[in-house]
């Protein structure tokens, strides 16, 4: 099992074992257990000891070697501290800044982007006509492929009770294009949004999507709070 933090339960998948209800009755609070990686070994520097006596040539050479070794320790400590700061953070999208430009799907170094759509069930209206699910002018309000906005069929639509429907994201199929997010933000409650999934992201030093993002929506966030969640789960900002 990976030691990387994964999307908290309730953000991307409906919790199992509960009766499904429309928004406003019972929400699905995101539950995130902070994941803490083991600390990197730190280099302990030997205390420099200098003689007050006159230094012989041999001692001078020895002292030079010690100095070089201290410099080496210093460089190693600097390297480790840089590595520690990288390992202590993760790239994440601020959903309030994202303008759904589409680059999350095309600019990740991974063949299929590490960015996925997640769903805040507590914010969702469970609408029959979900503007994150349906094309702008659907032929029918049903699950026919021709009516769906998602290019990969990653959104599942399930009837709950009249007039409510539940929408859930299949993370394996989602490519992070943000089309559903745009639809949901334009006419719905904004319960669909994009997040970098840390069970996929390889935490590049410089995230190529962050570089390409026209909205500066990418940020480095603490490893202990690696998601910027909307709704009841919002705790990472
Ligand atoms: S690149 Fe930035 S603005 Fe575009 S979809 Fe990704 S986070 Fe949103
Ligand atoms: S429309 Fe795009 S972002 Fe939304 S679920 Fe489908 S693939 Fe993912
Ligand atoms: S850090 Fe790398 S793997 Fe992660 S989202 Fe950015 S480009 Fe993709």
Our answer on whether the CB atom of 220 is closer than 6 Å to any ligand 2 atom is: no
Encoded tokens for 84? 């520690």
Q: Rounding to the nearest 10 degrees, give the CA dihedral for residues 16, 20, 21, 22.
A: 90
At 231 the pLDDT is: 83
Q: Is residue 182's pLDDT more than 70? A: yes
What's the sign of the alpha-carbon dihedral 175, 171, 11, 210? negative
At 87 the pLDDT is: 84
Q: Hey, which of 178, 180, 182, 192 would you mutate to test ligand 1's pocket, going by the most ligand atoms within 8 Å of its Cβ?
A: 178
Domain chopping of the chain, boundaries: 89-233
Name the more confident of 80 and 99: 99
Ligand 1 mean position to 30 CA, how many Å? Answer: 23
At 42 the pLDDT is: 30
Ligand 1 closest atom vs CA 98:
8
Q: Hey, which of 104, 204, 218 would you mutate to test ligand 3's pocket, going by the most ligand atoms within 8 Å of its Cβ?
A: 204
Q: 176 with 105: CB under 8 angstroms?
A: yes
pLDDT in tens, 9-62: 555 545 443 334 344 333 333 333 333 233 322 322 223 332 333 333 344 334
Ligand 1 closest atom vs CA 102:
5
Our answer on whether the CB atom of 177 is closer than 6 Å to any ligand 2 atom is: yes
At 6 the pLDDT is: 57
Q: Which residues pair with 85 in a beta bridge?
A: none
d(CA 32, CA 224): 9
């Amino acid at each position: 099992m990976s030691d990387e933090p994964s999307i908290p339960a309730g953000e991307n998948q409906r919790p199992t074992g509960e009766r499904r209800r429309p928004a406003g009755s019972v929400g699905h609070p995101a539950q995130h257990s902070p994941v803490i990686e083991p600390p990197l070994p730190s280099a302990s520097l030997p205390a420099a000891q200098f003689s007050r006596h006159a230094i012989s040539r041999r001692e001078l050479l020895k002292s030079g070697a010690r100095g070089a070794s201290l410099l080496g320790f210093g460089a190693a400590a600097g390297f480790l501290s840089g590595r520690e700061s990288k390992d202590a953070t993760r790239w994440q999208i601020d959903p309030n800044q994202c303008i759904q430009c589409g680059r999350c799907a095309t600019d990740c170094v991974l063949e299929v982007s590490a960015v996925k759509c997640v769903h805040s069930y507590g914010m969702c209206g469970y609408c029959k006509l979900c503007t994150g699910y349906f094309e702008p002018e659907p032929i029918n309000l049903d699950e026919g492929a021709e009516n769906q906005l998602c290019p990969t069929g990653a959104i599942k639509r399930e009837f709950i009770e009249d007039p409510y429907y539940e929408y859930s994201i299949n993370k394996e199929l989602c490519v992070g294009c943000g089309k559903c997010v745009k639809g949901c933000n334009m006419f719905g409650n904004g319960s669909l949004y994009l997040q970098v999934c840390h069970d996929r992201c390889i935490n590049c030093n410089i995230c190529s999507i962050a570089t390409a993002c026209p909205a500066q929506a990418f940020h480095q966030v603490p490893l202990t709070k690696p998601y910027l969640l909307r709704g009841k789960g919002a705790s990472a900002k």
